[in-house]
Amino acid sequence: MTTRLAKLHATGNDFLVAAAPGPDAATAAWLCDRHRGVGADGLIVLGPGRDGADCTMTLWNADGHQAEMSGNGIRCLAWVAAQQGLGTGDELTVGTAAGRRRVDLDRDPRSGALRYATVDMGPVTFDPAAIPFTGASAFDVDATYHGVVYHGDAAGVGNPHLVLLVDDVDAARVAQHGPHLEVDPRFPQRTNVEFVTVTAPDALRLRVWERGVGETLSCGTGACAAAAVAHRRDLVGPHVAVHVAGGVLDVELGATTRLGGPVTHVFDVEVDLPEERP
């Protein structure tokens, strides 16, 4: 069987986009494998719109588990949807497992291709039940691994986050401690883990261990969660430049949260799927 995929990245967070019905969990994990497959942080299935949405998004993490939302992934999906003529000229409405999301489209005036997208991510929640988080409060959460005590907050952006404030994000042991913090038993659906250093009243630096993926170059929902936590603690204002390894994301906080950033198309590919996969 052959499947056609588009590969894109949004500040280095890379995704494969397939048309519905898309692959199953095992095939998605195989395609995302950087040694045996095409390689990506996740695979997104672009489905037909329903209930007023222009299209739908189904997201598989690289380990084959479904995720509720990705701020970078939905911008990559928007590139493919825009190429297919979905939505209006400058706006796309996407149905996701975390709810409906509106994406504002900034196109190249010469080619018409999407170059930058801004997503209405909805409000960041600190309600433990909504995250979900089983602790009594999402605020002032401590997490300990291998003798290191981290401090931060839990937050929800349609998916769970543990935002940890550190003195030097470059020295943070993301790859060593991230996989253990991801499975903190207080997060029944596991969690994304952000390591954050505030660098200015309107800027912070972020490294992230993504649930089901590993350390990635960027995380859109993580940028929103980190900005919201830093803002709640009066460390930054409502407009935050979030610097990640793959570039810069723009977060605006308010009654809703808006996430902006570039989108880059890498290539299209047809892949012959083997009948048996390791």
String of DSSP letters for 70-118: -HHHHHHHHHHHHHTT-S-SSEEEEEETTEEEEEEEEE-TTT--EEEEE
Model confidence pLDDT, tens digit, residues 117-140:
999 999 999 999 999 999 999 999
Split at pLDDT 50, 70, 90, the class of 112 is: confident
Domain ranges of the chain: 2-120+261-271, 141-254
Q: What is the pLDDT of residue 101?
A: 96
232 vs 226: CA distance, rounded Å: 10
pTM for the model stands at 0.93
Is the domain spanning 2-120+261-271 CATH 1.20.1250.20? The answer is no
- Residue that wins the pLDDT comparison between 278 and 31: 31
Q: What is the pLDDT of residue 214?
A: 96
Neighbour count for residue 33 (Cβ, 10 Å): 16
Residue burial 197-219, b: 16+ Cβ < 10 Å; e: rest: bbeeeebbbbbbbbbbbbbbbbb
For the segment 34-60, the average pLDDT, to the nearest whole number, is: 95
SS3 166: coil
Mean pLDDT of the chain: 96
Q: What is the pLDDT of residue 277?
A: 57
Q: What is the pLDDT of residue 17?
A: 98
User: Quick check: 32 pLDDT over 70?
Assistant: yes
259 vs 247: CA distance, rounded Å: 14
Q: What is the pLDDT of residue 275?
A: 72
Angle, in degrees to the nearest 10, between helices 220-232 and 71-83: 140
Q: What is the pLDDT of residue 252?
A: 98
For the segment 72-94, the average pLDDT, to the nearest whole number, is: 95
Neighbour count for residue 115 (Cβ, 10 Å): 15
Q: What is the pLDDT of residue 122?
A: 95
How far, CA to CA in Å, does 252 sit from each of 22, 95, 188? Answer: 33, 22, 29
User: Are 13 and 41 within 8 A, CB to CB?
Assistant: yes
For the segment 81-92, the average pLDDT, to the nearest whole number, is: 92
Nearest one of 201, 125, 203, 207 to 166, comparing CA atoms: 207
Note whether 2-120+261-271 and 141-254 share their fold: yes
Class for the domain spanning 141-254: alpha beta
Q: How far is C-alpha 268 from the geometric centre of its chain's CA atoms?
A: 21
Q: How far is C-alpha 216 from the geometric centre of its chain's CA atoms?
A: 10
Q: What is the pLDDT of residue 130?
A: 97
Nearest one of 188, 136, 185, 184 to 164, comparing CA atoms: 184
- CA atoms in the 13 A half-sphere facing the CB of 121: 35
Q: How far is C-alpha 80 from the geometric centre of its chain's CA atoms?
A: 17
User: Quick check: 278 pLDDT over 60?
Assistant: no
For the segment 99-111, the average pLDDT, to the nearest whole number, is: 94
Q: Tokens 């660098």, residue?
A: 199
The token duo for 138 is 């999402």
196 vs 206: CA distance, rounded Å: 5
Model confidence pLDDT, tens digit, residues 221-277:
999 999 999 999 999 999 999 999 999 999 999 999 999 999 999 999 999 987 765
Indicate the DSSP class of residue 6: E
Q: What is the pLDDT of residue 1?
A: 81
Instruction: State yes or no: cis peptide before 132, omega within 30 of 0.
Output: yes
For the segment 203-211, the average pLDDT, to the nearest whole number, is: 98
